[in-house]
A and B are shown apart, each in its own frame.
Chain A
Amino acid sequence: MSENAVSRRRAIGLAGAGVAGVVGASAVGVSLFTDKSEKSAEPAISDAVAFHGATQAGIVTPAQDRLHFVAFDVLTKDRAELVQMLKDWTAAAARMTAGQDAGPIGATAGILEAPPDDTGEAIGLPPSGLTLTIGFGPSLFRDASGKDRFGLAARKPAALADLPHFPGDTIDPAISAGDICVQACANDPQVAVHAIRNLARIGMGAVSVRWSQLGFGRTSSTSTTQATPRNLFGFKDGTANLKAEETDLLKQHLWVQPGDGPDWMTGGSYAVTRKIRMMIETWDRTSMGEQETIIGRTKGEGAALGQAKEFDEIDLKGLNGAGDPLIPVDAHVRLAHPDTNSGAHLLRRGYNFVDGSDGLGRLNAGLFFIAYQRDPRTHFVPIQTNLARHDAMNEYTRHVSSGLWACPPGVSGPDDFWGRALFA
């Protein structure tokens, strides 16, 4: 069988670039150890994002518009079978992110009697900025009874400690946690779904899908080249997010550094995922003034209250004419701000979701929150503890799923695979 290395769509060419509404520097190659981010010519949103690199793509990559996130349970008890699946996944991920079919034969080139090694719904679609990012959950290392499932328990990072129960949490275990996650982000939802579907198919028997989530619109910018998008509350989200260009901050807050331990995580990052249901209908009948004081920003411009422009410095100490704080003490931006949280920054990468309606005439909608960080114990946990206790926004949100994932460093080249250093 000959390798079908031809892209699903050979030439996107310059025509594609003209359609691009959002163009961004390829920030995939940001090094842990230098302060220079590699910039290439501005790519079109239909272009491929490099799969191989020192860090995984899909973290500081300018946030694509669509998400399909999946959590798997590992079924096999055989470590070698799991490793083989990770190798197969890596090969398929390298192909799909390059805009090729999932398998070496392809969607239509095989014999008629055998099922195709690609499912076909991405035929003719460009790479669409697809990134596939893998993470390992705490339960991969030890099961609920504490059993070391694959001889990995000694390699479990201390930072991968189960998240605590936060006040107000209404977590559904059926759509939480998991042994392995894959985040697929792309600028075409069909390309993202195609990638997850094919990984699930390839992993059949070794893993089983535990839950999955579609996101239809990004709620964060991860690069200064991107405009700040809006969440379903109608507010700009992620103005103060960590960005690919802030290389010093990325070292401090995003990437696991040499010496943090364990070694297999150096160059990786920890992802926290939270499905946050928004009480859309009650929010929509809240006055604009109250909405703005709950968030702490203006709805139109997205400026911090008391400021004029979106990126004007927030003033957490300032008072208004009545002698009250410009930013209320329970406003979301204040409680989430690094200055309120010992300087901790998160790289947020969330997506809006609507899962139909809830049978009570309400949209089942909200934010699928994803945040990457160097250590959740010093970042997400204290920030969320603070928010869960005091945030005025809590009246309009419910956290219904939770996940914590150790995302290893990037795949260096064709001989490397997802999790190689972990299973070494």
Chain B
Amino acid sequence: MRRTPLILSLVAISAVAACGSKSDKSTAAGSAGPITVKASDTACEVARSQLDAGTHVFTIANKGSKVTEFYVYAEGDRVMGEVENITPGLSRELRVELPAGTYQTACKPGMVGNGIRNTLTVAGSAAPLSQDAALAQAVTSYTSYVVSQSEALEQRTGDFVSAVKAGDLAKAKQLYPVARTYYERIEPVAESFGDLDPKIDGREDDATAELPFTGFHKLEKDLWVTKDVSKDGAIADQLQADVKDLVAKAKTEKLTPLQLANGAKELLDEVATSKITGEEERYSHTDLWDFAANVDGSQAAVAALRPALEQRKPELVKQIDTAFTSVDSELAKYRDGDGWKLQNQLTQEQLKGLSDVINALAEPISKIAGVIAEK
């Protein structure tokens, strides 16, 4: 969280979401009906690997035992469309418009890592975008990311809150870092809505008479330190309500390309100042979940800007790609099952290793805003 929230213009327009409620136009020639995706814990079987340009519907059935996600990525993991939070046994639909090009599909059982990837080729002609169109598309693409993440945030916070209210400490502790993941992925946007961020994500030492210690970290403290959540019903309900409020606001948020660029940088600043240090999750030490989520969010913003950056400064894109790869491989050292090692299990030397790769990434990412701003 930040003490001085970024004030975004709150012009309410309906976000165009690739996986949202677009009118049901017929799919492009050559595509006959939904494309089925059989997702399991170890496989991601996409029924077709070649499509014609146009709008397509994927139906993803989770046959596995872990919650999964499904993504369609353009180059550089730019999200063309995604469905989050597909629980075992459930089927979900993804509607996505795909211009000609080469894409990757990915299932993410356990919602972590790069996922199980397949190549998807889309035939047809694709006119190069104008620079303005590339920026407009970046905003559309990232907005859809924010919407899908915030929907998942609302659901997973609900699961967490239920466990807290049921007094199931073990389950609540397990769900806590998962719910936080969705918050941390869109943190720069979440921080822009006045008091919502301090209420949801405030620390004990930020509390004031007007804004007492509530939200995720209050529950974190009670789960890990006092080990008593019996009096936290109201806090839990308030968290759920605040998150619901935040999600509604996020869905109508109108972003600018510059905000995407700054958001990508701010997420890495979050990693550097509050995750590597263990400041954010001081009771649970689940900082590496947030770390990974911040990096995911930064990558999503960069990926959305990718076509515009490719036009303006391709060498910067290469530099950023390399730096993201370094972060991924450094972070992967601390994978623990479907989650992460605890921050306080890492040595100072290991934390410096993480700090170094984040600095190496943040440096080129800090240049994006300037590149986007220059005509």
Interface residues of chain A, those whose CB is within 8 Å of chain B, are: 75, 110-115, 201, 204-206, 208
A283 CA to B293 CA, complexed, in Å: 54
* Pair A115/B366 contact, Cβ less than 8 Å: yes
User: Which B-chain residue is minimally distant from A204 (CB atoms)?
Assistant: B363
Across-interface contacts of A115 in B (CB, < 8 A):
366-367, 370
Among the listed stretches B73-81, B86-94, B352-360, which one makes contact with chain A, having 4 or more residues with CB under 8 Å of it?
Answer: B352-360
Across-interface contacts of B370 in A (CB, < 8 A):
110-111, 113-115
Given contacts A205-B363, A208-B352, contact A113 B323 (CB under 8 A): no
Cβ-defined partner of B374 (8 Å) among A111, A204, A205:
A111
Across-interface contacts of A205 in B (CB, < 8 A):
323, 359-361, 363-364
Closest chain-A Cβ to B118's Cβ sits at a distance in Å of 31
Say yes or no: is B372 at the interface (Cβ < 8 Å to chain A).
yes
Q: Could you list 30 examples of A-B contacts with CB < 8 Å?
A: A75-B356, A75-B360, A110-B370, A111-B370, A111-B373, A111-B374, A112-B373, A113-B258, A113-B369, A113-B372, A113-B373, A113-B374, A114-B367, A114-B369, A114-B373, A115-B366, A115-B367, A115-B370, A201-B363, A204-B359, A204-B360, A204-B362, A204-B363, A205-B323, A205-B360, A205-B361, A206-B360, A208-B352, A208-B355, A208-B356
A300 CA to B359 CA, complexed, in Å: 50
* Pair A208/B359 contact, Cβ less than 8 Å: yes
Which of A75, A112, A114, A201 is most buried by chain B, counting CB atoms within 10 A of its CB? A114
Closest chain-A Cβ to B308's Cβ sits at a distance in Å of 14
Closest chain-A Cβ to B270's Cβ sits at a distance in Å of 17
Query: Hey, what's the 0/1 contact readout for B38-65 against A, CB within 8 Å counting as 1?
Result: 0000000000000000000000000000
A151 CA to B89 CA, complexed, in Å: 55
A208 CA to B330 CA, complexed, in Å: 15
Known: A113-B258, A201-B363. 11 other contacts (CB 8 A): A111-B370, A111-B374, A113-B369, A114-B369, A204-B359, A205-B323, A205-B363, A205-B364, A206-B360, A208-B352, A208-B359
Which of B361, B363, B371 is most buried by chain A, counting CB atoms within 10 A of its CB? B363
Across-interface contacts of B372 in A (CB, < 8 A):
113
User: Restricting to B311-358, which residues have a CB under 8 Å from any CB of A?
Assistant: 323, 352, 355-356
Closest chain-A Cβ to B261's Cβ sits at a distance in Å of 8
Across-interface contacts of A112 in B (CB, < 8 A):
373
Across-interface contacts of B371 in A (CB, < 8 A):
114
Across-interface contacts of B359 in A (CB, < 8 A):
204-205, 208
Q: Which 7 A-B pairs have the closest CB atoms?
A: A114-B370, A205-B360, A113-B373, A204-B363, A208-B356, A113-B369, A205-B363
A185 CA to B360 CA, complexed, in Å: 27
A126 CA to B370 CA, complexed, in Å: 30
Closest chain-A Cβ to B316's Cβ sits at a distance in Å of 12
Across-interface contacts of A201 in B (CB, < 8 A):
363
A253 CA to B356 CA, complexed, in Å: 39
